[in-house]
Amino acid sequence: MFKTLQAKIVGGVFLVMLIAIGILGFLWQSEKVLTVKAQNDLATVQKDNALALASAAAEINRLNTLNGEISRKAEEDINIAHQKHKVALNEINALRNADLVTINRLRDNTKTLTAKLSSLSDSTRTEYAISAGNNTAECSVVLGEVADLARRYSAEIDFLRDAWPKPVLPQESK
């Protein structure tokens, strides 16, 4: 009976050992499959990260290039505005100089007229007064035109300076 019991126990232990070995084999295979899957997932994540980094680097390069183009265009527009401003200032100065010549001529004519005025007839004095009034009106019109031109060019320069996009500096990566 002891031998029968011993045989049953040995058989049971053997069966338990076989089951344990089977379970261990199954777990080992499962771990191996999970490890391969984890390695594949890791490779996929690394590949996605590399693609995302490459895409981000390409976007940074594109934005830097665009920023450079905008900066160059802004500088060109500023230079053009400065050139237009110089031309306008030259025109204004030319008109001012012409007006100064006219004013000096009028002063000289007024001095000459004042010296001759006492010897002239009343009708001649009236004609001179009308002529002087007309000259003053013409000077006022020219002065108004010069002032309008100066305001227009100043407003154009201010508009270009304010409206043109400012260059965007790239952000440093962290």
- The whole-angstrom separation of Cα 85 and Cα 79 is 10
Tell me what pLDDT residue 170 has. Answer: 66
Q: Which residues of the chain have pLDDT under 70?
A: 1, 167-174
3-state secondary structure of 149: helix
Tokens encoding 122: 């009343």
The pLDDT of residue 171 is: 67
Q: Which helix (H) or strand (E) holds 117?
A: helix 2-117
Inter-residue contact 167 to 74 (CB < 8 Å):
yes
Residue 51: per-residue pLDDT: 93
Q: What are the pLDDT digits (tens) for 73-102?
A: 888 888 888 888 888 888 888 888 888 898
